[in-house]
Amino acid sequence: EIVLTQSPDFQSVTPGETVTITCRASQSIGSTLHWYQQKPNQSPKLLIRFASQSISGVPSRFSGSGSGSDFTLTINSLEAEDAATYYCHQSRSLPLTFGGGTKVEIK
C-alpha cells in the first residue's frame, strides 16, 4: 500500500499570503497524484489532477507541482473562502490511498 504523508497538519494563514502544502509518497508514483479541497460539511472537491493539471472552474491561484514521490499544492493570494482541509490522493496502485489532510485556517 502506498502511504501518503502530508505536511503540515494545520496552517493558520492571513488572507493574501501564500500557502504551501506538501505530500510525500512512500514510493515513486510518477504524476498520479491529485489534490482535493473539503470545506466544512461538504464532500471533497477535485482541485488538481496529475500533480499539476488544473481543473475547469478551479481558481487559478491553486497550482500543483512535483513528480515521483514529492508533491506540492500552492495557494497564492489566499482568500477567506479557501478555509478548508486539503487532501492528496494517489491513483498509481490499489488500494487507492489519501493523505491525512492539511487544515487551512484563515487568521
Site membership for another protein, residue 91 (CB under 8 A): yes
Distance, CA of 17 to CA of 13 (rounded, Å): 7
Distance, CA of 52 to CA of 106 (rounded, Å): 24
**Binding residue for another protein (CB under 8 A) from 12, 14, 43, 60?**
43
Stretch that binds another protein, among 12-20, 42-50, 60-68, 75-83 (CB under 8 A): 42-50
Site membership for another protein, residue 3 (CB under 8 A): no
- Secondary-structure percent of the chain, ordered helix, strand, coil, rounded to 5: 5, 50, 45
Distance, CA of 57 to CA of 32 (rounded, Å): 21
CB of 18 to another protein, least distance (A): 25
Distance, CA of 107 to CA of 102 (rounded, Å): 16
- Kindly tell me which of 1 and 80 has the beta carbon lying closer to another protein: 1
Which stretches of the chain bind another protein, using CB under 8 A?
1, 32, 34, 36, 42-46, 49-50, 53, 87, 89, 91, 94-101
